[in-house]
Structures are given as C-alpha cells and as structure tokens.
C-alpha cells in the first residue's frame, strides 16, 4: 500500500464535506481544505450513508451503471495522516488487516480538479451493490 506520508490528500463526498453533518471531523486543525474535485463513479445507499463505487471498480462488485457518472467531492490536506487515518478508518468501518470484513476500503484514486488530475485517498464501498439503491435516488424517496 502507498505510504500515508507520501500521499496526505483525502477525497471526501457527502457527509464529510464542508457544510454537512460530519464536517467537524475535518476541522480542528487536522486538515486544510484544498478545493473541489470529481471522480468517475456513483454513490450507493448503505442505510443512511453513501458508499462510493468507482467506474473502474476493483471492489467486490462491478458498477455497470456508473459509466457516465461523476461523484463530486472535496479535497483536504491531512496534517498528521497516520493518526488521522487510524481514527477515520474505524469510523468508516475499514480494517486494513481485515479488508474482507471491511464495509469500506481506503484506496488511492485519481480525482479531477480545476488544475488537472491528482491522487487522493478515498473510502470505497467494499460490499456487493446488487439491490442497493443509488444514494441520490434513496435520498429523494425518503420521507422528509
């Protein structure tokens, strides 16, 4: 796996983005906002939370309906990546030594920014997506 010290950029989507319910985790001097980014893929609903499935997915499930989709997110520089990811891995249900039991896996992915392509860590859904609704569809059909 690529070193956290060499790659200290995180791509976040939905609830960890600025202005969303879990944004506080990225504040308090742990990170610095870099800017907006996109990656080819789609978000699927895992309960109340989204899970990223990449178009060119290496996860357990192919994502045939994500070919023309882009997931919009944000990039953050992580100041102490070893400590930061040790905590966020637990929150995201990722166990590096037991990826087969993990809800998400943390991987370096390519993201598109206003200035070009960059590499960033992202949490990728690590379960079968068969039967899971797309996150935007699940949110729009939920009672308000």
For the chain, how many structural domains are there in total? 1
Quick one: pLDDT band at residue 23, thresholds 50, 70, 90?
confident
- Yes or no: say if 51 and 141 are a contact pair by the CB < 8 Å rule: no
78 found inside a domain = yes
Residue range(s) defining the domain that contains residue 108: 9-129
Helical (H) or strand (E) element with 65: none
- Yes or no: say if 87 and 11 are a contact pair by the CB < 8 Å rule: no
d(CA 11, CA 28): 18
pLDDT of the residue at 73: 94
Higher pLDDT: 5 or 133? It is 133
137 found inside a domain = no
Enter the pTM of the model. 0.84
64 found inside a domain = yes
Quick one: pLDDT band at residue 143, thresholds 50, 70, 90?
very low
Q: What share of the chain is helix, strand, coil (3-state, %, to 5)?
A: 20, 40, 40
pLDDT of the residue at 121: 97
CA angle in degrees (0–180, nearest 5) for 31-77-79 = 55
135 found inside a domain = no
- Yes or no: say if 12 and 22 are a contact pair by the CB < 8 Å rule: no
CATH of the domain at 109: 3.10.490.10
4 found inside a domain = no
- Per the DSSP assignment, residues forming a β-bridge with 54 are 41
pLDDT, one tens digit per residue, over 89-116 is: 999 999 999 999 999 999 999 999 999 9
140 found inside a domain = no
Instruction: Tokens for 123, please give them.
Output: 């949490």
pLDDT of the residue at 4: 64
36 found inside a domain = yes
142 found inside a domain = no
Comparing C-alpha atoms, which of 137, 111, 135 is closest to residue 52?
A: 135
pLDDT, one tens digit per residue, over 42-73 is: 999 998 889 999 986 534 444 455 456 899 99
């Amino acid at each position: 796996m690529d070193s956290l010290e060499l790659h200290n950029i995180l791509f976040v989507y939905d609830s960890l983005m600025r202005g969303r319910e879990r944004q506080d985790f990225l504040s308090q001097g742990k990170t610095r906002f870099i800017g907006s980014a996109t990656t080819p893929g789609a978000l699927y609903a895992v309960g109340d939370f989204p899970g990223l499935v990449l178009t060119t997915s290496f996860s357990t499930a192919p994502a045939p309906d994500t070919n023309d989709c882009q997931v919009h997110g944000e990039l953050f520089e992580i100041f102490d990546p070893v400590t930061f990811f040790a905590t966020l891995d637990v929150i995201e249900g990722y166990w590096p030594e037991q990826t087969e039991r993990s809800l998400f896996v943390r991987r370096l992915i390519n993201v598109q920014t206003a200035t070009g392509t960059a590499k960033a860590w992202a949490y990728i859904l690590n379960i079968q997506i068969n039967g899971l609704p797309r996150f935007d569809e699940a949110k729009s059909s939920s009672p308000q």
